[in-house]
């Protein structure tokens, strides 16, 4: 079964904002673009098998199952894409840094 990837406005805005911060702090637009493109590529890979990703630790807080895709450069996984699977759609709900507090009610 093939799935269709959808990013919420919040997730898309966060992903872009993080890439912008990388461009500002690393002084390298190339680093920021590579990070962003790599994250998008990993998200798009969910279309083939979203169930390969673990259920998110915050799963029990919501009326639906939430999973997480971990992403980072090299061996350092720095961000989580929190998503749910609805029929043949993968809905990326938010992007979180691994150091952020866990999701709570009202965050999604």
Least confidently predicted of 32-36, 76-80, 81-85? 76-80
Neighbours of 64 (CB within 10 A): 11
Global pTM?
Answer: 0.90
Concatenated DSSP letters for 3-28?
A: -EEEE-HHHHHHHHHHHHHHHHHHS-
Tens digits of residue pLDDT in 20-46: 998 888 778 898 899 999 999 999 999
Pairing state between β 4-7 and 89-97: parallel
73's torsion region: left (phi>0), alpha (psi -120 to 50) or beta? beta
Assess whether pLDDT exceeds 80 at residue 71: yes
- All domains in the chain, ordered by first residue: 4-97 (3.30.2310.20)
1: confidence class by pLDDT, cuts 50, 70, 90: confident
């Amino acid at each position: 079964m093939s799935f269709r990837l959808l990013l919420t406005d919040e997730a898309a805005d966060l992903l872009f904002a993080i890439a912008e911060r990388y461009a500002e702090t690393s002084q390298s637009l190339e680093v920021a673009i590579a990070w962003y493109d790599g994250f998008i590529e990993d998200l798009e890979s969910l279309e083939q098998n979203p169930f390969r990703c673990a259920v998110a630790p915050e799963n029990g807080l919501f009326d639906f199952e939430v999973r997480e895709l971990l992403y980072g450069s090299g061996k350092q996984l720095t961000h989580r894409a929190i998503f749910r699977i609805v029929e043949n759609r993968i809905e990326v709900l938010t992007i979180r840094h691994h150091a952020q507090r866990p999701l709570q009610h009202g965050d999604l």
